[in-house]
Amino acid sequence: MKTVLFLPLLQIPSGHHQAADALKEDLLAMAPQWQCHKVELLSSRLGQAEKLISSVYLQWIRHFPKTYSILYDQAVIRQKKAHLSFRYYEILFRRHIKNVVQHIQPDLIVCTHALPSYLLNRLKLSKEIANPVVNVYTDYFIHHLWGIEAIDYHFVGHPYMKTKLMKKGVPESRIFVTGIPIHPYITISKRKGQTERLCYSGLISGGSLGIGAFTELLKKISPNDPIDYYVLCGKNVQIYKQLQNENHPRFIPLPYISSRQEPIEITFLNL
C-alpha cells in the first residue's frame, strides 16, 4: 500500500485545493487501497490563526486588488536573482513541514502550491528528506517561489511552461504537459433547448474570487467572434451583473458554482 501526501495552502476553496482534490479522487479511483492525506500548511502550523490570515488575505484582494497585484508581481514574478531565499517562510514552516513528512512517511508528495514546493525543495537540497516530490502547477506561468532544482517531477498546464523549466535546467524526462487537473465530477453538456451552431466554446475564469483583467480581456472580444465564452465570475457579483447587463452575444456569465456535481451546460461544435 502506498501513501500520498497532498500539500495545498490556506483553507479557502482555492484552485490549489481543487487540483489536489481532483488528483486525489482520480488516484483513489485507480488504486482504492492507497492512502491519501491532504495537509494545509498554515492551519496545521498556526491553528486558528490561519482563519484570520485567510480573512485578511481575501479582504485585501477584494478591496485593494491593485496593491496585491503589484506586491505579488514584485515579490515572486519579477525577481532577477537566480536563487531566491524566502528566509521568513523557512523560519516559520521549514521544521514543521519536515515533521509532517517524517510523521506521514509518504511514498509521494504532491505540491499544488508554491510555498510547500519551495520548502521541500530546500529540504531535499540539504538532504534532510528524500521523498519524491511532484509540482502540479495551477497557473499558466511559473513564478520564483516554486521549488525547481530538487523537485522530481513537474506537471505543467502548457508546453510553454515545459520550455521555461528546461531553460532552468530541468530534464525533459521529468516534465509532463498534463493541463490543469479537473475533478472527475465536473461535467459539461449541451445547453438544453438550444440548437447546435457552428461555434466553438471557450472558458474564462478568474478563480473562486472572480478576479483578473476581465474588463480589458472582454473588451477585445467582438460580437461576431466565432467562440461562445463562458465566464466563471466566482463570487464577484459585480462582474457577474455587469456582464448580464451588457448582454454581449458571445458572453455567458456564470455565478459561483459550489457543487462539482452541478453540470455546466455548454454548447459546443461536434468535430
215 located within any domain: yes
Range(s) of the domain holding residue 256: 188-265
Same domain, 112 and 210: no
Same domain, 207 and 143: no
Same domain, 209 and 120: no
Same domain, 166 and 204: no
271 located within any domain: no
Same domain, 259 and 155: no
**Cα 112 to Cα 23, 154, 156, 241, distances in angstroms:** 10, 11, 11, 32
270 located within any domain: no
124 located within any domain: yes
Give the CA angle between residues 74, 76, 80 to the nearest 5°: 75
pTM recorded for the entire structure: 0.74
The yes-or-no verdict on residue 3 having pLDDT over 70 is yes
Grid cell at residue 63: 478591496
Mean pLDDT of 189-212: 61
Tell me which range, 45-49, 82-86, 94-98, is most confidently predicted by mean pLDDT: 94-98
Phi, psi of 246 (to 5 degrees): -65, -30
How many other C-beta atoms are found inside a 10 Å radius of the C-beta of residue 211?
17
Same domain, 126 and 50: yes
Q: Could you say which of 154, 177, 200 is where a domain stops?
A: 177
Mean pLDDT of 107-120: 96
Same domain, 130 and 91: yes
Least confident of 15-24, 65-74, 230-239: 65-74
- Residue 270: predicted pLDDT: 36
Q: Could you say which of 145, 177, 209 is where a domain stops?
A: 177
In percent, how much of the chain has pLDDT > 70?
A: 70
**CATH number for position 157:** 3.40.50.2000
- Residue 146: predicted pLDDT: 93
Same domain, 107 and 192: no
45 located within any domain: yes
Least confident of 60-64, 68-72, 190-194: 190-194
Residues 6+ apart with CB under 8 A from 119: 89, 90, 93, 94, 97, 147
Number of domains in the chain: 2
Same domain, 230 and 139: no
- Residue 202: predicted pLDDT: 83
- Residue 271: predicted pLDDT: 32
Mean pLDDT of 135-140: 92
139 located within any domain: yes
The yes-or-no verdict on residue 148 having pLDDT over 90 is yes
53 located within any domain: yes
Same domain, 102 and 199: no
Same domain, 39 and 165: yes
Beta bridge partners of 205: 232
Cβ-count burial 111-136 (b if 16+ within 10 Å, e if not): bbbbbbbbbbbbbbeeeebebebbbb
183 located within any domain: no
Q: Could you say which of 128, 158, 177 is where a domain stops?
A: 177
- Residue 230: predicted pLDDT: 86
Same domain, 82 and 160: yes
